[in-house]
Chains A and B, each alone.
Chain A
Amino acid sequence: MRQKLSIAGFLAPFLVLFSAFFLLPIGYSIYRSLTVVERTGPLGLGGAEQVFGGLTNYLWALQEPGFLGGLGRILLFGVVQVPVMIAGATLLALLLDSASARWKGFFRATYFLPYGIPGVLASILWGFLYMPGVSPFSELLGVEIDFLGQDNVLWSIANIVTWSFAGYNMLVITAQLNAIDPSLYESARMDGANAWQIAWHVKLPLIRPALVLTTVFSIIGTLQLFAEPMVLKELSTAIDVRYTPNLSAYSEAFVNNDYGLAAAQAVLLALTAFVLSFGFLKLVGRRGP
């Protein structure tokens, strides 16, 4: 009995907070997504009340070209950016792990640096590096590169995300590389394998769990894309208020005051995140992150 009480004591703080700030908002979001505001009286001026609206908000969300466009845009973004970043991080981790590398500590620290910079600040910083008239890259090449134009801005954002998180992912992969038993390399070398073959045939399969973990977190991160386009929106006319699903939900809620529709969009986004991350885990045949 005494032990039961202490177990409850250990669990209670987390469970209470989890219920209040995770489960309750999710439940509330679902509830709000099922309600619509109905106007009464002549010309709808009599007042507004919340009534049950079934799946109306979801239908609206799915018929809204802006929201769907944003969803398609970040899916395209994810299909390109996530593999590029994970491949880059893997390459850096393998290079640093190889016997040929010098100054490993310096390089590792350098690659990890941007992780300490919040997405908003990274976007402000890169915003200047992209800005016509200020951009040192355009200056270097002697031509004005249109980083913020319609065609390029999505990939300019992808660059910010890659810059921020590649080093962090490299570190996760490095952690797993360090856990590999060095005698495995010894026996591979005895069998005549060179450094490239060891990296490809021995190391790569063994760091699979780290690659799965980083990919799942990257997928979830991609779907939530918000700060970067929100900041660059000030500099680029190519980014509108529905550029990503999170931007859509934000502007439905705080510009149009349509919380029902915003809630439906948030729920749809969370569902997409679940489907994609579990789908990916299923695809690679592993349970849990």
Chain B
Amino acid sequence: MGYVLVATENELQDRLANGGCRVAAGMTDMYPSGQLPGSTESVVDISQVSSLRDISCTDGAWRIGTTVRWSDVRVYPWPAGLEMLAEVASQVGAVQVQNAATVGGNLCNASPAADGMPVLLALGATVELWSVRGVREMLLSDFITGVRRTALEPGEYLRAICFKNNEDAVASAFCKLGLRQYLVISIAMAAGQLRCDSAGCVSGISLALGACSPVATRLSDIEASIVGKPVSKSLIDEVTAERVASVISPIDDVRATAAYRRDAAVHVLRDTLARLVEAVA
């Protein structure tokens, strides 16, 4: 057991090759457990590995390094269609948390209420994983397998989050519902991105809900029902309680009942869609 701060990916890879350690960066979820990192399992702190901390874009292919912090995402000059990344970043905890917590940590921690999940799901993000066996890519939706569970294998780490941003993406939005303004865990949240063609019809839409099921989820039925239709407020009617209920499985917890979440999910999703429509109009 122990804690070690590594400076390079090579060092990290050496540590992982030896096995039996957990990767961490922002530590915002590690300390609250009450034990210092490294006291119950070996921890490799990758927060200072500079090669993992870039946001880059090549030919419309975006890559967010795993230790990019939410404050980096908050201030990044995102183009149209990716504004929701800055929006969600500004709602992760508060400034202090955003200055520590990382995008990769948010995903690997695999909380059902991870703020980053619906946004990155709506972007169809993939994750790049590294191990001595090689690099593999998988869909984010396959990477998170359950509450606090991911597809990470022993000796493997999340290196980057990747997504394409189609040039015709015109708007994105993120809506978070919590019991207070700052430092709050979502009761429900939604993210969406809208693309439209020259005729003013929806050429593509992606919608996702978080905190309403063990893993955040896309609303593919609703998306399918919207594509091809003219962009107008009536699109919101496609978000029906039945369609939403069919893909979520909310729980009762200290923040809200499952029944409330089922209702709220519909409204949060409609609000998100309304904002997308408004942005285009």
A binds B: no
Q: Which residues of A contact B (CB under 8 A)?
A: none
Q: Which residues of B contact A (CB under 8 A)?
A: none
